[in-house]
Structure 1
Amino acid sequence: MGNISKLSSVLIGLILGASLVACDDGRAGAQDAAKQLASAVAALDVGPVAFEGKDSGAATEQLRQVFKALDPVKPTVDSGELTLDSGTATVPLDYSWKIGSGEWKYSTSAQFKKSDGKWLAVWSPGLLAPGLAEGEILGTLSQSPARAEILGAGDAKLVTYRPVVNVGIDKPRLASSDPAASATQLAQLVGVDPAAYAQQVQAAGPEAFVNAITLREDGRTITDDQIGAIPGARAIPDSLPLSPSRTFARALLGTAAEANAEQIEKSNGTLKTGDTTGTGGLQQQYDAQLRGSDGIQVFAEKAGLTREERQTLLNGGRRALFQVEIKVGTPLKTTLDPRLQQLAEDILGKVGPASAIVALRPSSGAVLAAASGPGSNGYDTAMLGQYAPGSIFKIVDSLAMIRNGMTPESTVECPATLSVDGRTFKNAEGYPASSLGSVTLRDAFAHSCNTAFINARDTVSQAQLEAAATSLGVAVEAPSLGASAFLGSVPGDAAGTEHAASMIGQGRVLLSPLSAAVMAGSVGKGAPVAAQLVLNPNEGVTSPGAGSPGATGTSGTSQAVPPSGDTTASAPPAPAPSAAAPVAAAEAAALADMMRAVVTSGHAGFLASVPGAPVGAKTGTAEFGSDNPPKTHAWIVAVHGDLAVAVFVEEGGLGATVSGPLLKEFLTAAG
């Protein structure tokens, strides 16, 4: 009985199989052929596809010519549900292209015919684009919007289109003149490398204009007559998005110029030859917002048109297939005050080492100036510098001490020297003998007694220092800043000589000039200052991640330099607060009282003559390196009404004597 059942099952299977074969009308094979065609078209290589009456290689060549104008973009192509009609199959091909900021979607129809049991694709240009006829290809026209402006306080135009001239050799104008001789002569006139430029001119095509240099029209000293005296040389008027001068806030703002090959390659099709893009600073960070997006048209046209014929068709005759509307960029609004920024740059112009001046408004956090001097060599020292702050950090120490019950009138001990785990600490050269011994905290702060603050290490823990710093807006993230910056680093853990060094702003404690201004500004405001530079980050930007502000601050020790000195001693016994409360008005008032004493009785008395509101200040001199004697950074911070300023000079000597006069000049002129 079991064998009969097995036999019945086999017979039933054979009958069903025969029935399925009988019903197989070739649909599966046609569908496979359609999928193969869709995949091959998407790859721009139909070599693996079998065509009826068309060589696969010739089909590939024609396909690539049709789509050449869209290079390097490739489509995604999917085959739809086929329709079968007695040996002929019709299949929709669904296309999707990423064209600029838009997506071009369309469907075409592909046919297949069965021959000798095999499905062959029927070649037709119409399967590539809607209504495309034999002898037609796709073409594109694009129009780039003008780059948007970068604005400062009161919508002052920091970066806007300004007139320039492109100076170079126009090869058609050379006639019989020697290209190398003209190029060499022009290069010498405008100050570029003669050999390199001559080689560039000789390598260019006969119709090329080879730019040697772009000069601002305003203040140009090389005249058109000088340029015109050289065979083939021309000065072509143009305009570029530029700041008021070549150096104005350059490290902060960045520059905008024609995209180079590397930028184009890395843009994934966003940039093309001739596009303007940002390099460095806010120009690069907010490139998407400032650049906007191109208007693009895709059309069908006859292949092989001459330049003249194509120009004629610009006025009509082309069949438009797809269009992306042009989208102008959105101006970037900042808080930068052009007068104060230029003032800061003018003051730093005479400083040799890396230097910075940062000014902000404590009441709002608005960054008014962030200038890096010529010695910074293009680096944004003002915003990104990471330096030991020295004695300006005693503002943080003092807040921690006040939170432990001290007042400006409290007595502290200020010996001439102090030894910690075998390391000797001393006061700065010239420290007044009258302020040694038992003195008030105010007096120790005003004259910057290192030993008095190091003596406080047993009652002020490293964790309390970190908490006090964050209470003053230092060593925190800055989400409202809108620009890349270093907001300071204060380790929460340190012992022995490292903890002692922290008490005088050394060891692993690091600040930037920006964070130093924030610290002083928080005292002036009576609450933590949240610095702000960019007012409308990424306005009008819809593409994911485009123009994102990136890192705006660093907290903790993630960017600290390696520790120095002995770290084996036990941690100070004072407990750390569970959370860093913002600096309170009463605490800030006590700090402001001591900062004012630096001017009235300390070594920043030169600021007493600054007109207007009383100035409160703190100087700082931070040793670094292994030289003997060591090199020093010179710091000074001040609060003057609703203005907080930090001045920094790398390798600057004493803060009071080096950075102090720069600060006085700035405050006096700032008004």
Structure 2
Amino acid sequence: MRLRPLGSLTLAALLPFAALTACGGDDDPKPEVTALTDAFASGDFGDVDFAGSTTPGQVGTDYERLTKGLVDGLGGAKPTVTASAPSVTGTSAESTLTWTWPVPAKAWRYTSLVELRKKDGRWRVVWAPSAVSPELKDDDGRLDAVSLAATRADIVGTNGAHLVSQRPVVSYGIDKTQVPAARAGQSAKALAALLDIDAASYAKRVKASGPKAFVEAITYRRGEAPAAAARIGGIKGAVAIQTSRSLGLTKEFAAPILGTVGDVTAEMVKEHPDRYHAGDVAGLSGLEARYDEQLRGVPGTRVDLVGADGKVSKELFQADPQDGKPLRVTLDDRLQKLAESLLAGVEPASALVAIRPSTGAILAAANGPGNNGVNLATYGQAPPGSTFKTIDTLALLRQGLTPTSRVDCPPTITVDGKRFGNDSWYPASATGSVPLKTAIAQSCNTAMIGQRSRISHDDVVAAAASLGFGVDHDTGFSSYFGQIPAPASDTEEAADLIGQGKVLASPMVMATVMASIAAGKTVVPTLVPGQGDTKVPDGTKPLTASETEHLRAIFRTVVTEGTGRGLLDVPGKPVLAKTGTAEFDRDGKRLTHTWMIAAQGDLAVAVYVDEGETGSSTAGPIVEGFLRGR
């Protein structure tokens, strides 16, 4: 069983029995016992009278020596000490002390005896280490506590795959017991150069560490260390330690979602001194951090009697650790790997989210390498472009339009002096008076903007809510459900209708929109079953059967006749889709966000690429690859 320091704990010392504080006088030893029990909690013995030549300072020093290992092992915790009414026999008295030390898994309780003597009309405490513990029979012993680490639990996927589990690793570092102190810094620099890490900072850590420390330089999964690591034998004090750590299936696997596990930071210890102590291992980000208490369990504790030689002479108490409990998530390991492989070659920031419409389960939430570790999949915020026309379409259906209702799609439209047009590739044959399904299939911007007199901002917000957009939920994971703020001008309202302006969305919420269309109901995405709010908010207007039928027909037309034709020959059930682009400026350049959302059977998917050409040419092949490979 591996031992490590316990997390920091605090427990206010209880005042001893009330009866003691109510009594007084030179004939009553109770006040002196009260002063002693208070001192055990505070460490200040200045108010205690001791027999003979013993001084409060001497007792304070002795008490610290006797208990320092225990207090440090419990993260600075203080005991609760109560006392029985003293038993008086002439000029002697005795009181039973009940000690309670706040051990995380189970409090350690025991009793000891303290003797008092009366001289010159005053009661005084006879100091002896046995007052702290009956096991401390001489001045050489002391109490010590070590933590018995709990086993951190796994994160388990929807198919039972252990997405995060204890996996073998090799830690490379300097063992300072194997190198002279004067040479430790030199060895550290040599190891850093061999392993290609920052030499100055690592050497500084090695020099600052204790004389018996192992100072880790870098850790690799077993079998993934560079070939140069085999040459550490030539560096004095350099060692490789085989151990295990909580790791994902691969280094990249859902990393921004699942998070990381590592040594607690100073900030964590300061914020939660009752939970963490320097040297503890805990979740640092993602689900590992949010559900750390469940996953890490409760460490156990062993309290030992240690002799003057530093060796354990007797085990006094043990509370077994309570292992963590697994966290179950909806991610499908196969689909997650597929999504990540499709994004692996995408240079700009990118994300793919797949949802099961029937349940709302998030099956994949992949972030591309261009994200630099940022979770755009469920928490990204970008204008959704023409994928937002899914919401416009529902709002128009609720105003009485049908897929065949005709709408005007001019080449351009001007709103309050600002000219809006369609994309450069928009077919001239789809301008003029066209069916609504054609305007959506070809992604006519001017048609949607021209309908702003028919659908109000409130109509759009209500339609969005019916498709799972714009209503926040406490989902139990980092999630963003989009925004449609009230427009400040006519031009902003026009831009909003084509998914620009101030409208923002995450890939997760756009996958949710398509999932709602596929399911014929408002879908609330879930990643951690049993956690968070998955209830559709009161007041959300449900989709009707007619609305669902029309929405499916219109977004099937996108595939059969419009911008989603690249998905037409995907095997299996009919595919529904919508593409989108949104222009933005960066570093003086006009660039384009690209989107595609799609649904096939009981699967909905959204792909976002931060910089691209069009939804169909940039995001489309990724969607196609996912639907074909699933």
Q: Please tell me the TM-score bracket, short chain as reference.
A: 0.7 to 0.9
- Aligned-partner SS, 1:439: strand
CA apart distance, 1:606: 1.1
1:145 match:
150
1:57 match:
57
Whole-angstrom distance in 1 between the partners of 2:212 and 2:539 = 70
What's the CA shift string for 1:524-546, capped at 9, x where partnerless?
A: 11111121212365xxxxxxxxx
What's the CA shift string for 1:392-417, capped at 9, x where partnerless?
A: 11111111111121111111111222
Is 1:120 aligned to residue 120 of structure 2? no
Contact 2:264 2:284 in 1 (8 A): no
Tell me whether 242-251 or 201-210 shows the greater mean CA deviation.
Answer: 201-210
**Equivalent residues in 2 for 1:97-496 (5 A)?**
97-113=101-117, 115=119, 118-129=122-133, 132-135=136-139, 136-174=141-179, 179-204=184-209, 207-222=212-227, 225-299=230-304, 301-306=305-310, 309-310=311-312, 313=313, 318-320=314-316, 322-479=317-474, 481-491=475-485, 496=490
Match for 1:501 among 492, 495, 500? 495
Is 1:632 aligned to residue 626 of structure 2? no
1:545 match:
none
Q: Structure 1 residues 506, 78: CA separation in 2 closer, same or farther (over 3 Å shift)? A: farther
Q: Structure 1 residues 184, 138: CA separation in 2 closer, same or farther (over 3 Å shift)? A: closer
- Aligned-partner SS, 1:70: helix
1:601 match:
561
Contact 2:563 2:578 in 1 (8 A): no
Whole-angstrom distance in 2 between the partners of 1:516 and 1:391 = 11
1:572 match:
none
Whole-angstrom distance in 1 between the partners of 2:177 and 2:71 = 31
Q: Which runs of 5+ in 2 are unaligned?
A: 1-22
Whole-angstrom distance in 2 between the partners of 1:82 and 1:500 = 85
Whole-angstrom distance in 2 between the partners of 1:467 and 1:28 = 81
Whole-angstrom distance in 2 between the partners of 1:77 and 1:380 = 50
One-letter amino acid matched to 1:489: Q
Whole-angstrom distance in 2 between the partners of 1:453 and 1:27 = 94
Whole-angstrom distance in 2 between the partners of 1:490 and 1:439 = 28
One-letter amino acid matched to 1:606: G
Contact 1:488 1:554 in 2 (8 A): no
CA apart distance, 1:285: 1.0
Contact 1:475 1:554 in 2 (8 A): no
1:544 match:
none
Q: Structure 1 residues 554, 580: CA separation in 2 closer, same or farther (over 3 Å shift)? A: closer
One-letter amino acid matched to 2:610: E
One-letter amino acid matched to 1:60: G
Contact 1:476 1:553 in 2 (8 A): no
Q: Structure 1 residues 523, 38: CA separation in 2 closer, same or farther (over 3 Å shift)? A: same
Is 1:579 aligned to residue 542 of structure 2? no
CA apart distance, 1:85: 6.0
Whole-angstrom distance in 1 between the partners of 2:87 and 2:381 = 69
Contact 1:477 1:553 in 2 (8 A): no
What's the CA shift string for 1:76-133, capped at 9, x where partnerless?
A: 3455655666666655545443212333344545455555565533323343345543
Tell me whether 168-177 or 322-331 shows the greater mean CA deviation.
Answer: 168-177
Contact 2:282 2:292 in 1 (8 A): yes
Whole-angstrom distance in 2 between the partners of 1:215 and 1:554 = 43
Tell me whether 273-282 or 117-126 shows the greater mean CA deviation.
Answer: 117-126
Q: How many residues align?
A: 602
Contact 1:487 1:555 in 2 (8 A): no
Contact 2:150 2:298 in 1 (8 A): yes
Q: Structure 1 residues 176, 399: CA separation in 2 closer, same or farther (over 3 Å shift)? A: closer
CA apart distance, 1:667: 1.7
Whole-angstrom distance in 2 between the partners of 1:225 and 1:631 = 47
What's the CA shift string for 1:286-343, capped at 9, x where partnerless?
A: 11111111121224x244233xx33xx4xxxx152x4322111111111111121112
- Aligned-partner SS, 1:160: strand
One-letter amino acid matched to 1:158: L
2:16 match:
none
Is 1:649 aligned to residue 609 of structure 2? yes
Match for 1:532 among 526, 536, 541? 526
Contact 2:155 2:329 in 1 (8 A): yes
- Aligned-partner SS, 1:588: helix
Contact 2:526 2:534 in 1 (8 A): no
Identical pairs, percent? 41
What's the CA shift string for 1:213-265, capped at 9, x where partnerless?
A: 11111343426642324444322211212112211111111111233444444
- Aligned-partner SS, 1:647: strand
Contact 1:144 1:275 in 2 (8 A): no
TM-score, normalised to structure 1, is 0.83
Contact 1:476 1:554 in 2 (8 A): no
Structure showing greater radius of gyration is 1
Q: Structure 1 residues 458, 176: CA separation in 2 closer, same or farther (over 3 Å shift)? A: closer
Contact 1:463 1:493 in 2 (8 A): no
Q: Structure 1 residues 536, 128: CA separation in 2 closer, same or farther (over 3 Å shift)? A: farther
One-letter amino acid matched to 1:456: Q
- Aligned-partner SS, 1:624: strand
One-letter amino acid matched to 1:457: R
Q: Which runs of 5+ in 1 are unaligned?
A: 1-23, 538-548, 557-577
CA apart distance, 1:357: 0.5
Whole-angstrom distance in 1 between the partners of 2:79 and 2:38 = 10
Contact 1:475 1:489 in 2 (8 A): yes
One-letter amino acid matched to 2:549: A
- Aligned-partner SS, 1:155: coil
Q: Structure 1 residues 416, 641: CA separation in 2 closer, same or farther (over 3 Å shift)? A: same
CA apart distance, 1:626: 7.3
One-letter amino acid matched to 1:244: L
TM-score, normalised to structure 2, is 0.88
One-letter amino acid matched to 2:483: S
Q: Structure 1 residues 535, 259: CA separation in 2 closer, same or farther (over 3 Å shift)? A: same
Whole-angstrom distance in 2 between the partners of 1:222 and 1:175 = 27
Whole-angstrom distance in 2 between the partners of 1:626 and 1:419 = 25
